[in-house]
Amino acid sequence: MTTFRVTQTMLANSSLRSMQAGLGRLAAVQEQLTTGRVLNRPSDSPTDTTSAMRIRSSLARAEQHARNADDAEGRLGLIDSTLSSMTNQVRRARELVLQGANASNGASSRQALATEIDQLRESLLGDANTSYLERPIFGGITSKDHAYDASTGAWDGTAGAVERQVGPDVTVRVDLAGPEVFGPDGASLFDTLEAASLALVSGDAAGIDGALDALKGHLDRIGSAQSVVGARQAQVERAVLAAGDSKLALTTRLAAVENVDLPRALVDLNLQEVAYQAALGATARVTQPSLLDFLR
């Protein structure tokens, strides 16, 4: 039968290792309470660290979708307000043309009406060049700072859709090309207003009647464009709500994985302190002074 001799050194080393382990557990709980996190390094829990990294990746995508949705709301809101303003101006221009259709108006009266229409055309061109973050909202994907040439009234944009991804599988177009709203060059709103002005000055009854019909068509086109913008805004609003719900759910999941349970950690801290103090006391009683201690 094999026997082992337990020496004083063995007892001391074993007690020291046990106390160091208890002190390590106490320090770990104190670190969790200090940082408020269960995961302070990957070695704390490789499995939970992997889960936390995946959740953070999903959270980053949800936050990007929310930022995209905010940008889309800003762009579409500006388009909607601009079209509302332009609708009022086109209605005013049509009223002026209708007044000019009255045969009782003299040349001076028609000239005054034409002058106001020219001013409205200039104002509408300015609205058509409205920019969002230094990009024209009716210019397509152009890199220029304007959508329409201020002197000719011709569209100077670049065909293409400006889109924003506002959800995992949701992409919304956030622009309207000028020709979609104001008609193609040669028959655009600005060409119609220019023709109406010339017809009023010259007293061309047929030209005035044609301008009235054309302006009615432009009003209908702008109204249809606003309906499209409204539908896109509703889609973006739904995406904003979905992104907010997703962020909340992911943040809650991340907190469950990473954050410390404060009541549980406080209880654990008290237990570790009691255990460590008990280990110190027991070690002091078990480890007896050696002859060397007396010689000192």
pLDDT digits (tens, 9 = 90+) for 148-167: 998 899 999 999 999 999 98
Where are the domains positioned within the chain?
Answer: 53-254, 261-296
pLDDT at site 50: 85
Angle of helix 262-286 relative to helix 8-35, nearest 10 degrees? 160
The two structure tokens encoding residue 71: 């940008």
pLDDT tens digits for range 197-226: 999 999 888 999 999 999 999 999 999 999
pLDDT at site 53: 86
Query: What's the CA gap between 293 and 290, in Å, rounded?
Result: 5
Burial 117-145 (b: 16+ CB within 10 A, else e): bbebbeebbebbbbebeebbbbbbebeee
Rounded to whole angstroms, what are the CA distances from 255 to 41, 49, 210, 277, 280? 16, 12, 67, 33, 36
Q: If you average pLDDT over every residue of the chain, what do you get?
A: 84
pLDDT-above-70 percentage for the chain: 72
Q: What is the mean pLDDT of residues 37-61?
A: 80
23 pLDDT exceeds 70? no
> How sure is the predictor about 100, in pLDDT bands with cuts at 50, 70 and 90?
confident
pLDDT at site 104: 72
Q: What is the mean pLDDT of residues 136-147?
A: 93
pLDDT tens digits for range 221-249: 999 999 999 999 999 999 989 888 888 89
Q: Which residues pair with 280 in a beta bridge?
A: none
Q: What is the pTM of this model?
A: 0.76
CB 182 within 8 A of CB 80: no
Query: What's the CA gap between 106 and 100, in Å, rounded?
Result: 9
* Placement of tokens 């809650």 in the chain: 252
Q: What is the dihedral of CA 49, 51, 55, 58, to 10 degrees?
A: 110
Class for domain 53-254, per CATH? mainly alpha
